[in-house]
Amino acid sequence: MKNQELSKIFNEIARFLQIDGVAFKPYAYEKAAISLEGLSEDVAETYVRGGRKALEEIPGIGRAMSDHIEEYLKTGKIKFYEEMKKKLPVKWDELLSLEGLGPKKIKVLYEKLGVKNLKDLAKVVKKHKVAPLFGFGEKTEENIVQGLDFLKRSKGRSLLKDVLPFATEILKKIEKLKEVEKVSLAGSLRRKKETIGDVDFLVVSKNPKKVMKFFCNLPGVEKVWGKGGTKASVHMKEGFDMDLRVVPLKSYGSALQYFTGSQDHNIATRKIAIEKGLKLSEWGVFSGSKQIAGKTEEEVYKAIGLKWMSPEIRENGGEIEASLNHKLPQLVELKDIKGDLHIHSNWEDLKGSKDSIEMLAKKGMELGYEYIGISDHTNDLKVEKSLNEKHILKQIEYIKKLNQSFEKRGIKFKILTGCEANIRRDGTIDVEDEVLSKLDYVIAGIHSIHKMEKEEMTKRIIKAMQNKNVDILAHPTGRIVGEREEYLMDFDKILKTAYETGTILEINSSTRLDLRDLYIRRAKSEGVKMLINTDTHKKDQMDFMEYGISQARRGWAEKKDIINTESVENLLKYFK
């Protein structure tokens, strides 16, 4: 997508302008960058569709920005940007990822020491060339050394599923302290983003010192790098930072609102406060110098005329308007889920690591589900002992018997028969239709030849959805968080076909997290049904449903959009 490239460029232009001390323009470029990033349509298509006029309808894009975009689309370059880059050819994303380093310091480092990237920076700090620079010092140099060391170990953001269980454990420990009145997670972790920068805790306590001491001595703390009267920051050996803040009870709600973010959401809420002649900060909502709200998030939102909204949608992506118009979504919840339909069993097992259908069913019952579906890999997928037509028929019979035994014992639980078939290069399915039609449902997914031309890939997927036996499109875009980009495809056409053929799109809860939140929102608005699956290869992975739920919630999905919130009788009606 050109959007991401342009977003990156606009962000960098903002940095250049910031260095030159230009006022307000950096903010405009940043806003344009954020706006582009959140767009579902590729600007190249927007431009073809409606030219300059359509571009300027994008929020934050005006005369000058559309100039830049047009130039970029036509020539692949933006002169304005290239000139700036010539003057200061540094790797912004690398250098800015270092804690404590901003545009101005980066400029000094380049001009005085020729530092262009992290590698250069490591060299000059080793020679102690940084401390003597004007505006730097011993402490700054030491912080750079520490920052480089930390980056090397953590390499950026961590996955939600790696951090959330860990952070929840710590939260429970803090909760148990008798000095603690209130505690909550905040930040991107509370918003359940796909990846997390650091972990934020917010605490109300009469004895902050004691809580802070406890926090700094938690197992796994490698280094305490910031400690004041009300705030402590630690590096964890797991490779991320944790912050703990103690706030007064009367500001707990406003602090929670503030530290939960997102930053864009905060800016938007503060603007609303200003419009009402109020001021919103982490300390509360103020009318003049009088605090009129702050103890709870609900009263903070109420004081500025908004309804409380779930952290997952606080991205300034329309939630403020929805709140004003009483149109906030009733987001789907974990407890709404009645079953999981993407589960692999030991029937396809090659290495002896998978669980039996019986064990998976038991796990499903423990989770309070009414049903699970078994969906082993088929013919073409060679990394597993994939099931052929004969195996599938045999498995159907086997599951039938298990269901009968449940019935006999009065257990109200059903195992559905499915498979995860492969979509071949030409869009055909690697299992005979005759056999597919005997299953309760069929999941189809792409597991080979990920790199194809956009048009060809779109046709391939559309053809698979048109198969009258294919009910569910597995991990529709092929992305894996932090590992693999999505396939080139026309998502609008995919959505249209999904709607026409009644094909359900999967929200895969594994590290794929595919569909992405923006696509979920588009699917919802087009009336396309979705299904949250775990893609379990080992029974404990069935617990990952909560990450699919978070993903769905960030995509504004409601219970009615997600079909595995339905009873088994209703569910079966959705299948072709």
Partner DNA sequence: GCCGTTTTCGGCCCGACTGTTTTCAGTCG
**Applying CB under 7 A, which of residues 50, 51, 62, 165 lies at the interface with DNA?**
62
Cβ atoms < 10 Å from Cβ of 570 = 11
Stretch that binds DNA, among 150-158, 193-201, 435-443, 528-536 (CB under 7 A): 193-201
Give DSSP secondary structure letters for 509-544: -STT-BS-HHHHHHHHHTT--EEEE--BSSGGGGGG
CB of 81 to DNA, least distance (A): 12
* Contacts of residue 537, Cβ cutoff 8 Å, sequence gap at least 6: 344, 353, 354
**Applying CB under 7 A, which of residues 270, 385, 463, 559 lies at the interface with DNA?**
270
**Applying CB under 7 A, which of residues 46, 66, 323, 378 lies at the interface with DNA?**
66
Give yes or no for residue 283 binding DNA (CB under 7 A).
yes
| Euclidean distance between CA atoms 487 and 489, whole angstroms | 6
Give yes or no for residue 43 binding DNA (CB under 7 A).
no
CB of 98 to DNA, least distance (A): 7
**Residue 163: which of 220, 205, 233, 204 has the closest Cα?**
220
| Euclidean distance between CA atoms 319 and 322, whole angstroms | 5
**Applying CB under 7 A, which of residues 46, 81, 84, 187 lies at the interface with DNA?**
187
CB of 107 to DNA, least distance (A): 8
**Applying CB under 7 A, which of residues 85, 112, 279, 362 lies at the interface with DNA?**
279
Stretch that binds DNA, among 59-67, 310-318, 324-332, 522-530 (CB under 7 A): 59-67
CB of 152 to DNA, least distance (A): 17
Is the CB of residue 397 less than 8 Å from the CB of residue 374? no
CA 153 to centroid of chain Cα atoms: 22
**Applying CB under 7 A, which of residues 6, 9, 34, 61 lies at the interface with DNA?**
61
Give yes or no for residue 25 binding DNA (CB under 7 A).
yes
Residues 111-140 that bind DNA (CB under 7 A): 131, 134-140
| Kind of pairing between the strands at 195-196 and 231-236 | unpaired
**Applying CB under 7 A, which of residues 116, 271, 463, 496 lies at the interface with DNA?**
271
Give yes or no for residue 60 binding DNA (CB under 7 A).
yes
| Euclidean distance between CA atoms 187 and 262, whole angstroms | 7
CB of 572 to DNA, least distance (A): 47
| Euclidean distance between CA atoms 387 and 86, whole angstroms | 58
CB of 108 to DNA, least distance (A): 8
**Applying CB under 7 A, which of residues 1, 65, 399, 416 lies at the interface with DNA?**
65
The pattern of x and - marking residues 201 through 240 that bind DNA according to CB under 7 A reads -------------------------x-xxxx---------
| Euclidean distance between CA atoms 472 and 502, whole angstroms | 9
Give yes or no for residue 248 binding DNA (CB under 7 A).
no
Give yes or no for residue 28 binding DNA (CB under 7 A).
yes
CA distance readout (Å), 158 to 153, 197, 298, 315: 12, 7, 30, 20
- Name the residue nearer to DNA (CB basis): 187 or 478: 187
Give yes or no for residue 23 binding DNA (CB under 7 A).
yes
CB of 501 to DNA, least distance (A): 38
Is the CB of residue 203 less than 8 Å from the CB of residue 212? no
Number of residues that bind DNA (CB under 7 A): 60
| Euclidean distance between CA atoms 419 and 179, whole angstroms | 53
CB of 386 to DNA, least distance (A): 46
**Applying CB under 7 A, which of residues 40, 281, 346, 388 lies at the interface with DNA?**
281
- Name the residue nearer to DNA (CB basis): 219 or 229: 229
| Euclidean distance between CA atoms 208 and 216, whole angstroms | 12
**Torsional class of 39: left (φ above 0), alpha (ψ -120 to 50), beta (otherwise):** beta
Q: Respond yes or no on whether the N-terminal peptide bond of residue 515 is cis (omega within 30° of 0).
A: yes
Give yes or no for residue 161 binding DNA (CB under 7 A).
no
Give DSSP secondary structure letters for 173-238: HHHH-TTEEEEEEEHHHHTT-SEESEEEEEEEES-HHHHHHHHHTSTTEEEEEEE-SSEEEEEETT
Give yes or no for residue 320 binding DNA (CB under 7 A).
no
Stretch that binds DNA, among 158-166, 257-265, 293-301, 476-484 (CB under 7 A): 257-265
**Applying CB under 7 A, which of residues 217, 263, 525, 570 lies at the interface with DNA?**
263
Is the CB of residue 495 less than 8 Å from the CB of residue 529? no
| Euclidean distance between CA atoms 147 and 442, whole angstroms | 49
Give yes or no for residue 287 binding DNA (CB under 7 A).
no
Give yes or no for residue 267 binding DNA (CB under 7 A).
yes
Instruction: Specify the amino acid at residue 259.
Output: F
Is the CB of residue 488 less than 8 Å from the CB of residue 452? yes
Name the token pair of 227.
């400690």
Q: What is the Cα gyration radius of the chain?
A: 26
Residues 485-524 that bind DNA (CB under 7 A): none
**Applying CB under 7 A, which of residues 37, 41, 45, 56 lies at the interface with DNA?**
56
The pattern of x and - marking residues 76 through 105 that bind DNA according to CB under 7 A reads --------------------x-xxxxxxxx
- Name the residue nearer to DNA (CB basis): 269 or 551: 269
Give yes or no for residue 478 binding DNA (CB under 7 A).
no
Instruction: Specify the amino acid at residue 350.
Output: L
- Site residues for DNA per CB under 7 A: 23-25, 27-29, 31-32, 56, 59-66, 96, 98-106, 131, 134-141, 143, 187, 197-198, 200, 226, 228-231, 259, 261, 263, 266-267, 270-271, 274-275, 279-283
